[in-house]
């Protein structure tokens, strides 16, 4: 089994995780969790999203979160990323001090409309506007529902290729394929990345996985075997798209890091302080965690 | 990705699952769950174990369970298997009408002592006695703690090879490697099976996995890539060794079958009645299910 020696883990709990929690999480608690996650060693973290507060009230403190993070962490080797669904959000993010955004467009037209209230074409037009308006803003382009859609079900690889082609033409800085509703299976992951390596030689992709059906880590391994080395995950396995019925938590950062570490793949992230943070999330937010490690006795975790 | 076209799934919920539940499950409910699981299409099922009732009180109705199953299902294409830890248990199982047992010996001496109160040598001696005493009794030899031990931690492949060699010399009918405490990682699975394919050419192995750390289905895929096509799993993801600290549920049959089906691998098992049975388990036994599919909206499961 040929695998990369190192992997980059992008922590998305403060964005994808918190957005799935209906009860208000205090800004102070959000800050504490983000601070701890950054101190754990993540080199990129999605700290919030600039969306309409009516759509996702949990994210209404986005500006304050960004101010705090810039003040506290801008001297560190960490990218502070915020998700934006449109030009309006990108402008707000940029003005708050954000210099890397996640810009999301769904591969399936129906999910894009449900998620960001636009056609894919409108979304791509705004992406070009963003690129033109904010020269020093890096863009991670998230290709949502790349492996399946809650409305259209099967998503052909040709549609994913069309999305990537459009993203490349818009000069995005990173392309992240997202299994928004956790339906991808390892064979599919293998086939899609093999296809893409033919259509887009030398183009790297990051991968955003949900563990809805328990295939999350299996999909990571299938992707690693295809040379993918950048994965998004959430502390505690929190997460879920509010506009995708049937979506559940992201793959849990602690489960992912435990597996990679045991496989000899370096992540640069310390498991122990991460597990402390997961305990804090468990205690204060009381979410349904899809994490496995969160339920293993602490002294039994690194048994090997 | 080269994978087998078909896989055999052995259902172990009525043994490994029920033994992990402290509250008494009525014999009638056990029978109902077993009947439903058999009707779902499993071709082999561990229905109970013949252990000392003081060690695992939940299994004290073993004889009655076997009688029921023989009466109701012996005309069907299904193997009714019972676990036994020693000669005494094998005799009781045989007398009850069982014709295939799971005989378990741990790769690590310390876990074998904790689990079956014997040294490995004593266990192998009893295995030979069983083989001699009951000529028409098939033996599935379960190599426990093959990928890690709660007491000795790391388990060298050479010890697994020693176990297999001893099992083959005792003329067992099947060899099942068990990750008793769910610590195996996919790279380790790959390496162990590659080693074994050198040491034991043409010998097939089945695999018994727990999902304690979320790597269960990833390990299945790594094993499939090495030609392994027989897996043990439990409806609902119930399970756990009462004598292995830190052990948690087996991989869930429904998660496994959903993944294999989506990967085009035939199992012969219908997901829908299986999910009905998982709902019954959830409702009547109220266990902590490690299943993923058990928490997905029913109409969203087979989205692809």
* Dist. CA A145–CA A221, nearest whole Å: 20
Rg from Cα positions in chain A = 18
Is the pLDDT at A41 greater than 90? The verdict is yes
E strands of chain A, at which residues?
8-11, 44-49, 79-84, 100-106, 138-144, 174-179, 206-209, 230-233
The 10 Å Cβ neighbour count of residue B154 is 12
Chain A hits for B215, CB-CB cut-off 8 Å, are 217, 255, 259
Q: Which of A183, A214, A218 sits opposite B304 (nearest CB)?
A: A183
Does the distance separating the beta carbons of A183 and B153 come in below 8 Å? no
| β-strands B8-11, A230-233 pairing | unpaired
From A103-107, A244-248, B161-165, the region with the lowest mean pLDDT: A244-248
E strands of A183-261, at which residues?
206-209, 230-233
pLDDT digits (tens, 9 = 90+) for A224-265: 999 999 999 999 999 876 666 655 789 999 999 999 999 999
* Dist. CA B114–CA B110, nearest whole Å: 6
pLDDT at A304: 32
Q: Which of B148, B248, B263 sits opposite A304 (nearest CB)?
A: B148
Which of A69, A55, A79 lies closest to A27, judged by CA? A69
Chain B hits for A304, CB-CB cut-off 8 Å, are 148, 153-154, 183
Structure tokens at B228: 């392994």
Structure ipTM: 0.94
Backbone angle region of A229, left / alpha / beta, with phi > 0 → left and psi within -120 to 50 → alpha? alpha
Band (B80; pLDDT cuts 50, 70, 90): very high
Q: Which H/E stretch holds residue B144?
A: strand B138-144
Is the pLDDT at A142 greater than 50? The verdict is yes
CA-based nearest residue in chain B for residue A150:
B303
Does the distance separating the beta carbons of B186 and A221 come in below 8 Å? yes
DSSP B205-274: -EEEEB-TTS-HHHHHHHHHTTT--EEEEBGGG----TTSTT--PBPBHHHHHHHHHHTT-B----HHHH
Structure tokens at B155: 């388990």
Structure tokens at A186: 């390892």
Q: Helices A216-224 and B216-224 sit at what angle, rounded to 10 degrees?
A: 40
3-class DSSP state of A259: helix
Q: Which of B245, B259, B290 sits opposite A185 (nearest CB)?
A: B259
Does the distance separating the beta carbons of B292 and A212 come in below 8 Å? yes
* CB distance A144 to A178 below 8 Å: yes
DSSP B159-216: HHHHHHHHHHHTT-SEEEEEETTS---HHHHHHHHHHHHHHSTT---EEEEB-TTS-H
Mutate to test the interface with A, among B155, B250, B304 (most CBs of A within 10 A): B304
CA-based nearest residue in chain B for residue A216:
B218
Chain A hits for B222, CB-CB cut-off 8 Å, are 1, 221
Does the distance separating the beta carbons of B214 and A291 come in below 8 Å? yes
Please provide the size of chain A in residues: 304
pLDDT digits (tens, 9 = 90+) for A153-180: 899 999 999 999 999 999 999 999 999 9
Which of B142, B144, B206 lies closest to B181, judged by CA? B144
Residues of chain A by 3-state class (helix, strand, coil), percent to 5 = 45, 15, 35
Block residue for tokens 């502390």: A235
The rounded mean pLDDT for chain A is 93
Q: Which H/E stretch holds residue B83?
A: strand B79-84
3-class DSSP state of B80: strand
Residue A32 burial (10 A CB sphere; 0-12, 13-18, 19+)? middle
Q: Helices B216-224 and B186-199 sit at what angle, rounded to 10 degrees?
A: 30
Q: Which H/E stretch holds residue B11?
A: strand B8-11
Which of A68, A100, A106 lies closest to A84, judged by CA? A100
Which of A102, A119, A122, A124 lies closest to A16, judged by CA? A102
Is the pLDDT at B5 greater than 50? The verdict is yes
Chain B hits for A216, CB-CB cut-off 8 Å, are 214
Band (B302; pLDDT cuts 50, 70, 90): very low
CATH superfamily to which A8-300 belongs: Aldolase class I (3.20.20.70)
pLDDT at B293: 78
* Dist. CA A76–CA A61, nearest whole Å: 23
pLDDT digits (tens, 9 = 90+) for B98-119: 999 999 999 999 999 998 999 9
Structure tokens at B142: 């379960």
pLDDT digits (tens, 9 = 90+) for B110-147: 999 998 999 999 999 999 999 999 999 999 999 999 99
Is the pLDDT at B242 greater than 90? The verdict is no
Is residue A69 part of the annotated active site? The answer reads no
Contacts of A63 (CB under 8 A, 6+ apart): A92, A96
Is the pLDDT at A220 greater than 60? The verdict is yes
pTM of the model: 0.95
3-class DSSP state of B134: coil
Q: Which of B220, B248, B291 sits opposite A296 (nearest CB)?
A: B248
Please provide the size of chain B in residues: 304
pLDDT digits (tens, 9 = 90+) for B263-297: 999 999 999 999 999 999 989 997 777 778 777 76
Domain edges within chain A: 8-300
């Amino acid at each position: 089994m040929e695998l990369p020696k190192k992997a980059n883990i992008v922590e998305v709990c403060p964005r994808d995780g918190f957005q799935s929690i209906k009860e208000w999480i205090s800004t102070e608690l959000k800050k504490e969790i983000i601070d701890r996650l950054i101190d754990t060693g993540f080199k990129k973290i999605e700290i919030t999203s600039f969306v309409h507060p009516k759509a996702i009230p949990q994210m209404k403190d986005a500006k304050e979160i960004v101010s705090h993070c810039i003040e506290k962490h801008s001297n560190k080797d960490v990218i502070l990323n915020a998700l934006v669904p449109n030009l309006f959000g990108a402008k707000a993010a940029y003005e708050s001090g954000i210099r890397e955004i996640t810009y999301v467009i769904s591969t399936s037209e129906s999910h894009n409309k449900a998620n960001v209230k636009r056609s894919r074409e409108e979304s791509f037009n705004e992406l070009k506007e963003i690129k033109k308006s904010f020269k020093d803003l890096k863009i991670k382009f998230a290709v949502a529902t790349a492996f399946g859609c809650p409305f259209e079900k099967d998503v052909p690889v040709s549609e994913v290729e069309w999305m990537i082609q459009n993203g490349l033409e818009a000069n995005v800085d990173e392309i992240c394929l997202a299994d928004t509703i956790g339906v991808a299976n390892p064979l599919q992951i293998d086939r899609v990345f093999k296809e893409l390596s033919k259509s887009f030689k030398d183009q790297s992709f990051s991968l955003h996985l949900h563990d809805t059906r328990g295939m999350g880590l299996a999909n990571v391994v299938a992707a690693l075997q295809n040379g993918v080395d950048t994965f998004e995950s959430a502390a505690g396995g929190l997460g879920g798209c509010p506009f995708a019925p049937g979506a559940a938590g992201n793959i849990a950062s602690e489960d992912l890091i435990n597996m990679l570490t045991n496989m000899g793949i370096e992540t640069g992230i310390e498991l122990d302080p991460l597990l402390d943070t997961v305990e804090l999330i468990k205690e204060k937010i009381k979410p349904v965690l899809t994490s496995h490690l969160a339920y293993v006795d602490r002294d039994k975790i690194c048994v090997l």
